Structure 1
Amino acid sequence: MFIINEFIQPQTIEEAYNILVSRRNNAVIGGSAFLRMGSKKINTAVDLSKLGLDYIKDEDGYIEIGAYTTLREVETSPILVNSFSGVISNSVKNIIGIQFRNIVTVGASVFSKYGFSDLITALLALDTEIELYKAGRIPLDDFLKRPFEKDVLIRIFIKKNQRRASFQDLRNSVSDYPILNVAVSRLDNQWTIAVGARPRVAAIAIKASEALSEHLGPENLAYYADIAAEELTFGTNERGTAEYRQAMCKVLVKRALMEVLECK
């Protein structure tokens, strides 16, 4: 369980940020789903539900997702279902259950940089930027590599293009946390391979992505999958060993590559 001393619903992003940074143990909360699984004391909980950040918009050049949008809204959004081969919606559809997905928010999932996040892996394979109140608008990949700093995630931008993509995951059961997840995308000759639940936060397999982009040999997809598995690091936890994850990375990357190549 977690303990909250004070609960505040700011009327502006600026107010939310100022409250957040005023004390060390103040925190922004989303649906609080993951907080309930641990033990934490929060002095002031900052709730963003009054700020109108629960939306998915098809804007000029970008798909925009507000930070307070739930994973269930991401799963069922016609905009996302019909974009990038449905990779974003597909990535969240097996997370725990519908009741859970109805409360978990996009902003909390991304800002927390959860290693087990399926959503982050899918977003990382696309041309994704996030907007933070203090740090501004930055590529998702850059944000994931930055050290933690208090800030408020406002929205996510995904560049609209003709990327084809595939999301693959390995679980002990459909609603369990992933042992490993993979997202692969292609725009013309540009490929991106992202691997998450390593169990570290998702990362792009840069060497494998570059090798694919320079010379795609459809008859030898296992070669590129091997490069991805060799360049990334994997760890061990209760769901699987590092060796098992590395072996399964090759399988999931190859499977995703095949699916993207079959996309029309």
Structure 2
Amino acid sequence: MFTIRDLVQPETLEEAYTTLMNRKPNTVLGGCAFLKMGSKRIGTAIDLSSPNLDLKGIREHEESFEIGAMTTFREVETYPAFQKYFQGILPQAVRSIIGVQFRNGVTVGASVFSKYGFSDLITALLALDAEVELYHGGRMRLQTFLEQPYAKDILTKVWIPKNARKSSYQSLRNSVSDYAILNVAVSEFEGQWRIVVGARPQCARVADKASQKLSELASTNEALLSSDEKSMETIETIAKLAAEELSFGTNLRGSAEYRQALCPVLVKRAIMEVL
């Protein structure tokens, strides 16, 4: 259980950011779902739920989807356009997370900004080449944000390019509602492939070498789209390359060795589904 000394509900992002930077223990509240599962002492808690901040909901623009930081996983799961775009990867990624009541509380901004290693959503967003918008840090690719060291800021939006990207999400869990032992997302758009592996148990990362190799092979070898034995061997090689370039760790859900052995299986499955 977490404790709060003071609670503020700012009406502007400038007020929220100023309060956040005033003292080190000051913390932005998301849906508090994960805070409830741990123990933390918060000096001043900053509630971003005011309608004036305009941080809740999903908007569909001509060239992108805009997701407010206070949007819940359940809203992402049930948003109609996400059912058809990108082969439904976003609803697939979040629908197995614990339960509907829990997903009604977890917010996109809190999960992404915290760079949770177990996050299914981050894995899917990386595959879609999403961007994040920070109040102080500005707008940048999610991949860039995840590679940066932690710095206090307020994540306000997540942006997803609205295109014909094909994608697949795969995961393995001990039970349906448990956190993933490993999760994988693969996507392709205009000949460029992205292979993403998360719950390693570190935060999701793009397998850059494997992604580049697959893009090169796909552009020069139309036979890769077939299901013959040679194509299967090529895909297996790419999947193994992804497992070799990423690091894996051990926790209660699985060992590093198990995750590394599992990775090529899920990557191959995802590539095949995209193809």
Greater Rg, structure 1 or structure 2? 2
SS of the equivalent of 2:169 reads: strand
SS of the equivalent of 1:186 reads: strand
Task: Answer yes or no: is 1:24 the counterpart of 2:21.
Answer: no
TM alignment of 1:171-186, pairs within 5 A? 171-186=173-188
Unaligned segments of structure 2, at least 5 residues: 219-223, 226-230
TM score, norm. by length of structure 1: 0.97
CA distance in 2, matches of 1:188, 1:110: 26
CA distance in 2, matches of 1:122, 1:175: 18
Q: Which amino acid aligns with 1:258?
A: M
Name the residue aligned to 1:124.
Answer: 126
Name the residue aligned to 1:189.
Answer: 191
Name the residue aligned to 1:14.
Answer: 14
Name the residue aligned to 2:156.
Answer: 154
CA distance in 1, matches of 2:65, 2:91: 13
Name the residue aligned to 1:223.
Answer: 237
CA distance in 1, matches of 2:190, 2:3: 50
The runs of 4+ residues in structure 1 deviating greater than 4 Å are: none
Q: Which amino acid aligns with 1:36?
A: K
CA distance in 1, matches of 2:196, 2:274: 14
Equivalent residue for 2:138, pick from 128, 136, 143: 136
Q: Which amino acid aligns with 1:248?
A: L
CA distance in 2, matches of 1:153, 1:142: 14
CA distance in 2, matches of 1:82, 1:155: 22
Name the residue aligned to 2:228.
Answer: none
Name the residue aligned to 1:58.
Answer: 60
TM score, norm. by length of structure 2: 0.94
Name the residue aligned to 2:90.
Answer: 88
Shift of 1:181: 0.2
Deviations 1:34-62 (A, max 9, x none): 00111100011101100221111111211
CA distance in 2, matches of 1:39, 1:136: 31
Equivalent residue for 1:234, pick from 231, 245, 248: 248
Q: Which amino acid aligns with 1:141?
A: Q
Unaligned segments of structure 1, at least 5 residues: none
Shift of 1:83: 1.1
CA distance in 2, matches of 1:115, 1:181: 10
Name the residue aligned to 2:261.
Answer: 247
CA distance in 2, matches of 1:147, 1:129: 17
Number of residue pairs the alignment of both structures matches: 261
Task: Answer yes or no: is 1:259 the counterpart of 2:273.
Answer: yes
SS of the equivalent of 1:44 reads: strand
Deviations 1:209-252 (A, max 9, x none): 00110013351211110010000000011110001001110000
CA distance in 2, matches of 1:28, 1:123: 22
CA distance in 2, matches of 1:80, 1:42: 35
Shift of 1:88: 1.0
